[in-house]
Amino acid sequence: MVKVKFFAALRERLQCAEMQIASQPDDSVAAVRARLIEQHPHWQRELLDNDVLCAKNFAFVGHQEPVRSGDELAFFPPVTGG
Amino acid sequence: MSQRIRVQTADFDVAAEYQRLAQTSSCGAVVTFSGLVRELVDAELEALTLEHYPGMTERVLEQLVEQACKRWQLGEVTLIHRVGQLALNEQIVFVGVAAAHRKAAFAAAMFIMDFLKTQAPFWKQEHSSTGSYWVAAKATDKQAAEAWQEN
């Protein structure tokens, strides 16, 4: 399983803070995101937004990043701290 | 080089943080920056909520400080960022850098803030009389961080 977290405005719009999704062989961030959209078609616009950032195991990654069972993914909007 | 990085709900004491930085005998310069909750242009701010990604936030802040230490010779760095609900004028963030000379201290403090703004997973939500709104990322913050990559 892969743990998936959402933060801030994205968490509110998806009405989901955290979920688990089954991992697959040769999985990637893009593939996980596609399966999330398959399961929740109304998430498509939010998750495909070009501004949405992704982290794997607490580090920024691109969409081609490999994903394995036990990884933690997070999707979130551009950051606004400071 | 020693570093102190904190993500906390509690407030911080700038005078105490300065005192700690000023104790390094090899350092002749201390630069500190504090970021505060300010009023809105078009509505009355009632509160500000700061959300973050526990686990990733601390890692990113550590990496920012490490990068600053690679670029400049620094004696001590303190980086504190608050989370949770904050009121108008409350302190949000503190960056303090002690170095042998002022140029490194000024530059490192600005570098850390510029990258914190675009890399550290914090999000602000403003609560005002007209509702609650997530703050949008600024293009100028992105440009400020990118400018360091050119130099």
Write the pLDDT tens digit of every residue in B132-144: 999 999 989 999 9
Among candidate residues B44, B115, B127, the one with its CA nearest the CA of residue B84: B127
Domain extent, residue A20, equals 2-76
pLDDT at B40: 87
ipTM: 0.95
CATH topology of domain B2-142: Aldehyde Oxidoreductase; domain 3 (3.90.1170)
- Answer whether residue B131 shows pLDDT above 90: yes
For residue B5, what pLDDT band results from cuts at 50, 70 and 90?
very high
The whole-number average pLDDT for the span B24-36 is 96
In a domain, residue A23? The reply is yes
For residue B101, what pLDDT band results from cuts at 50, 70 and 90?
very high
Mean pLDDT of the residues in chain B? 95
Nearest to B124 among A12, A58, A81 (CB): A81
pLDDT at B42: 82
Count of Cβ atoms closer than 10 Å to residue A78 Cβ: 17
Check B81 against A79: CB less than 8 A apart.
no
> How many angstroms separate the CA atoms of B63 and B18, rounded?
22
The structural domain count of chain A equals: 1
In a domain, residue A60? The reply is yes
At residue A71's C-alpha, the angle toward residues A31 and B121, to 5°, is 90
pLDDT at A2: 98
Q: What is the mean pLDDT, run by run of 10 residues, along chain A of 82 residues?
A: 98 98 96 97 96 97 97 98 96
In a domain, residue A71? The reply is yes
pLDDT at A30: 97
pLDDT at B43: 83
| B84-86/B122-128 β-pairing | unpaired
The whole-number average pLDDT for the span B32-38 is 97
pLDDT digits (tens, 9 = 90+) for B67-95: 999 999 999 999 999 999 999 999 999 99
Please report the sign of the dihedral spanned by the C-alpha atoms of residue A48, residue A51, residue A55, residue A58. Answer: negative
The whole-number average pLDDT for the span B100-128 is 97
- Answer whether residue B116 shows pLDDT above 70: yes
pLDDT at B1: 78
Given CB atoms, is B24 within the 8 Å cutoff of chain A? no
Nearest to B59 among A58, A76, A79 (CB): A58
User: Considering only CB atoms, which residues of chain A are within 8 Å of chain B?
Assistant: 5, 7-9, 12, 51, 55, 58-60, 74, 76-82
pLDDT at B150: 79
- Answer whether residue B151 shows pLDDT above 70: no
Nearest to A7 among B35, B53, B120 (CB): B53
Quick check: B48 and B133 in contact, CB under 8 A? no
Chain B residue numbers touching A78 (CB-CB < 8 A): 118, 136-137
CATH of residue A13: 3.10.20.30
Percent of chain B with pLDDT over 90: 89
